[in-house]
């Protein structure tokens, strides 16, 4: 996954990332087959895109009850940001008022963990609102919440359940140049998901597991309702854990996605059925290097005969190195997934990410990163407004400093650059951002 701070298109990219994860042909652990994520906080605006990706891609792997004690972290924050291209070069939205704007984003952040004798409960996420100085029609709430539980049963088996809800302005970058934007750029996107999995096994030996999930995507604007979709998934996995090997697993997944408002003249539904099977390795090399990697073979079968099928190799890797003075993270993935774009049935997405963090002083920390995403689209010729073929490439750079002024008070200064190129009906743009975030723990 792309790092959210790196591609936060003035608040618009978050919606796109969540939609992508909602539909993803997911892998089988928290560093999933097609995405990796961690609950990363950096001052004011939550970096929750990756956090929800971890939940959506949650394994059929056994979930731990968590170590450590009770934790209740509540904080308030505000981000003040300048964006050189809020409207992503879409003159229909800007209305001749230029492209840049300043926004402010007050946010309430929650991270609650309550252990019990045989399990745990948790709630995390944020509640916020984004206000723009000039483009006030883009003002919108930003809600991202996840709650769940772990429960140990039958000795070495653990049941995990979770529910997720998000609502925000959808990604302006998903609006085609050929589609009217009246009201569409003010679209609110809502994502809901429930999931459950059960896994058994100890530190050594076999570890079977199974998981089910259902996700729903809903949009407020009339035209964007054609992207409303329901997805049901089933994953089975069996792994073997040994100190010399780490955890080696084989898995299979079936997922069914339908665009519920996208009927065709023939009465057929638009959507895809996806199948994936593969192998995965999780390994810790000492205390500094953690690696998770998987390779799979996946097949996408569209509901519409006029949409080309896909068969091919997917992969996911996640590596983290923790040194004495810095930390480095590397992620990469290739996946076939239903598309977030209007009337596109699915796309093939490849992404790469590199992050680095170092502590300059006990109070001052530097972070930086690079990310790349490429999407190739597949759609049916019966949808006149959709591109039959085409690609999009997105490049992002970001860097920032965070200063811990006290036990509760923190400041973060961040900057980023994003460039998109496309050979289809999407706008090309260059975007620069700089933001100052103040965070106060309660």
* CA angle (347 as vertex; 341, 352 as ends), nearest 5: 105
Locate 259 and state its tokens: 């665009």
Question: For each successive 10 residues of the chain (442 residues), what is the average pLDDT?
Answer: 34 33 33 28 30 32 51 96 94 88 97 94 97 95 97 91 96 80 81 96 90 95 89 95 91 94 81 95 91 95 91 95 94 88 88 97 96 92 73 96 96 98 90 97 92
> Tokens 């979709």 label which residue?
229
Phi-psi region of 201 (alpha: psi -120 to 50; beta: other; left: phi over 0): left
Antiparallel, parallel or unpaired: β 119-132 and 270-285: unpaired
Q: Residue 306's pLDDT is what?
A: 87
> What predicted TM-score, i.e. pTM, was given to this entire model?
0.80
Tokens of 166: 């998000």
What local confidence, expressed as pLDDT, does residue 106 receive?
Answer: 98
No. of H helices and E strands in the chain? 4, 18
Distance CA 187, CA 336 (A): 26
Q: What is the pLDDT of residue 14?
A: 29
Q: 4, 48 in Cβ contact below 8 A?
A: yes
Is residue 245 within a helix (H) or strand (E), and if so which, with residue range?
none
- Torsion of Cα atoms, 132 then 134 then 136 then 139, to 10°: -20
């Amino acid at each position: 996954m792309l790092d959210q701070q790196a591609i936060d298109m003035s608040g618009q990219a978050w919606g796109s990332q969540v939609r992508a994860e909602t539909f993803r042909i997911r892998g089988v652990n928290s560093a999933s087959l097609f995405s990796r994520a961690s609950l990363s906080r950096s001052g004011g605006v939550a970096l929750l895109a990756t956090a929800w990706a971890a939940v959506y891609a949650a394994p059929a792997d056994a979930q731990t009850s968590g170590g450590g004690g009770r934790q209740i972290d509540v904080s308030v924050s505000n981000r003040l940001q300048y964006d050189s291209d809020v409207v992503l070069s879409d003159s229909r939205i800007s209305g001749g008022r230029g492209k840049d704007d300043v926004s402010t984003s007050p946010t309430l952040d929650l991270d609650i963990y309550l252990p019990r004798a045989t399990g745990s409960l948790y709630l995390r996420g944020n509640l916020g609102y984004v206000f723009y100085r000039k483009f006030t029609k883009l003002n919108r709430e930003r809600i991202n919440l996840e709650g769940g539980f772990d429960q140990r049963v039958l000795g070495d088996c653990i049941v995990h359940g979770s529910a997720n809800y998000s609502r925000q302005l959808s990604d302006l970058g998903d609006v085609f140049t050929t589609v009217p934007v009246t009201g569409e750029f003010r679209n609110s996107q809502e994502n809901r998901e429930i999931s459950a999995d059960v896994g058994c096994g100890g530190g050594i030996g076999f570890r079977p597991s199974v998981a089910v999930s259902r996700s729903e995507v809903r949009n407020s604007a009339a035209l964007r309702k054609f992207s409303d979709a329901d997805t049901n998934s089933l994953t089975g996995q069996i792994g073997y854990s040994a100190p010399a090997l780490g955890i080696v697993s084989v898995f299979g997944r079936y997922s069914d996605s339908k665009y519920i408002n996208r009927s065709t003249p023939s009465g057929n539904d638009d959507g895809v059925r996806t199948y994936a099977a593969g192998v995965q390795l999780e390994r810790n090399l000492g205390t500094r290097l953690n690696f998770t990697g998987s390779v799979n073979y996946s097949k996408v079968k569209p509901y519409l005969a006029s949409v080309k099928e896909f068969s091919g190799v997917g992969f996911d890797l996640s590596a983290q190195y923790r040194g004495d003075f810095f930390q480095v993270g590397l992620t990469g993935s290739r996946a076939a997934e239903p598309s977030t774009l209007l009337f596109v049935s699915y796309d093939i997405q490849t992404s790469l990410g590199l992050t680095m963090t170092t502590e300059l002083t006990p109070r001052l920390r530097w972070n930086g990163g690079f990310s790349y995403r490429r999407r190739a689209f597949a759609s049916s010729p019966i949808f006149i407004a959709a591109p039959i073929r085409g690609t999009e490439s997105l490049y992002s750079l970001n860097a920032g400093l965070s200063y811990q002024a006290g036990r509760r008070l923190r400041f973060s200064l961040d900057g980023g650059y994003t460039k998109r190129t496309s050979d289809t009906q999407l706008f090309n743009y260059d975007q620069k951002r700089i933001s100052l975030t103040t965070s106060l723990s309660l």
